[in-house]
Amino acid sequence: MRITLTTLQKMAQEGNRIAMLTCYDASFAAVLEEAGVDSLLIGDSLGNVLQGHESTLPVTLRDMVYHTECVARGSKRAFVVADMPFGSFQVSPQETLRNAAQLMSVGAQMVKIEGGRPMVETIEFLTDRGIPVCGHLGLTPQSVHQLGGYRVQGKGESEGQRLLKEAKQLEQAGAGMIVLEAIPAALAQCDG
């Protein structure tokens, strides 16, 4: 039986650890599932890892659809999350819905969107239409040029508070999960 978002939320509420790893193909999906991984993320990091790019920016929606389909076929139990690649969710909520629907139709159970406050309307639009969303704050690789490289985010008091505020906004918009990548350990422990 496949793990659902409700299952993961219950695990979190009960204080159980949730194992989520990045996966790009059917073989690794089966191996990771056998090892007990609860959730598989088809990351746009496939641009770096599989395609040899310096960033995630060249990854297309077609790439993500293909790899999501492969992982979903190789997985029988894990919760499947697919990254929305650069340019597939920034134009409008309506276009994001069309693109997210492609990922969902091949096996994603949730899509992941990078960005804070500017993505609130889009997340609300998607979740109102039945598409579960994982928000992504902190180090957002699709913004690598704007961030000045791959660096820890939220170091200062004001930056940390901004990230916490944006996390709450994403949660209120309907994000079922939120990833906080490359943030200070103290900020990760904060209750908000």
121, 24 Cβ separation under 8 angstroms: no
**DSSP 8-state assignment for residue 118:** G
Least Cα distance to 79 among 115, 129, 42 occurs for: 42
Phi and psi, residue 34, nearest 5°: -60, -30
Active site residue 181: yes
Q: Are 50 and 24 in contact (CB under 8 A)?
A: yes
Q: How far apart are CA 20 and CA 120, in angstroms?
A: 24
Structure tokens at 98: 């069309």
Distance CA 171, CA 51 (A): 33
Q: Which of 95, 159, 171, 181 is catalytic?
A: 181
CB 83 within 8 A of CB 108: no
Catalytic residues: 181
